[in-house]
Chain A
Amino acid sequence: MRGSTTSNPAEGTYLRGDETTVKILVAGPFSVGKTTFIGTMSQIRPLKTEEVMTAASTAVDDLRGRPDKHETTVALDFGRLSLNDKLVLYLFGAPGQERFFPILSHLAHGALGALVLVDTRHLAQSYPVMGVVEQLGLSYAIAVNQFPDSPPYTADELRAAMDLPADAPLVFCDARDQPSSKQALIRLVSYLLTLLPESTP
Chain B
Amino acid sequence: MTASRRTRGPGLVGLHVVTGGRYEPSRNHFDFVTSVCLANPGLERTGLTPEQRRVLELCQPGALSVAEVGAYLELPLSVLRILLADLMERGHITTNGKFYAVQTADRQLLEAVLEGLHNL
In the assembly, what is the distance between CA of A128 and CA of B9, in Å?
7
The count of chain B contact residues (Cβ–Cβ below 8 Å) is 70
Q: Is B47 an interface residue (CB 8 A)?
A: no
Are A51 and B98 interface neighbours, CB within 8 A? Answer: no
User: For chain A, which range describes its interface: under 10, 10 to 19, 20 to 34, or 35 or more residues?
Assistant: 35 or more
Q: Is A149 an interface residue (CB 8 A)?
A: no
Are A163 and B117 interface neighbours, CB within 8 A? Answer: no
Closest CB in chain A relative to B91 CB, distance in Å: 16
Q: Which residues of B contact A51 (CB under 8 A)?
A: 76-78
Q: Mark A128-139, 1 if CB is under 8 A from B, else 0.
A: 101110010000
Q: Which residues of B contact A52 (CB under 8 A)?
A: 76-79
In the assembly, what is the distance between CA of A87 and CA of B108, in Å?
12
In the assembly, what is the distance between CA of A130 and CA of B5, in Å?
9
Q: Is A186 an interface residue (CB 8 A)?
A: yes
In the assembly, what is the distance between CA of A195 and CA of B28, in Å?
28
Q: Which residues of B contact A22 (CB under 8 A)?
A: 33, 101-102, 105, 109, 113
If A51-B78, A112-B110, A189-B117 touch, whether A15 touches B33 (CB-CB below 8 Å) is no
Closest CB in chain A relative to B28 CB, distance in Å: 7
Are A135 and B120 interface neighbours, CB within 8 A? Answer: no
* Complex: chain A residue closest to B94, CB-CB: A17
Q: Is B51 an interface residue (CB 8 A)?
A: no
**Of A20, A88, A161, A185, the contact of B2 (CB 8 Å cutoff):** A161
Q: Which residues of A contact B (CB under 8 A)?
A: 5-9, 13-23, 47-59, 73, 76, 78, 80-84, 87-90, 92, 98-99, 101-103, 105-107, 109-112, 123-124, 127-128, 130-132, 135, 153, 157, 160-163, 178, 182, 185-186, 189-190, 192-193, 196, 199
Complex A-B, nearest 10 residue pairs according to Cβ-Cβ distance, in ascending order:
A83-B116, A14-B62, A55-B21, A17-B63, A131-B11, A102-B23, A110-B101, A47-B71, A17-B37, A21-B33
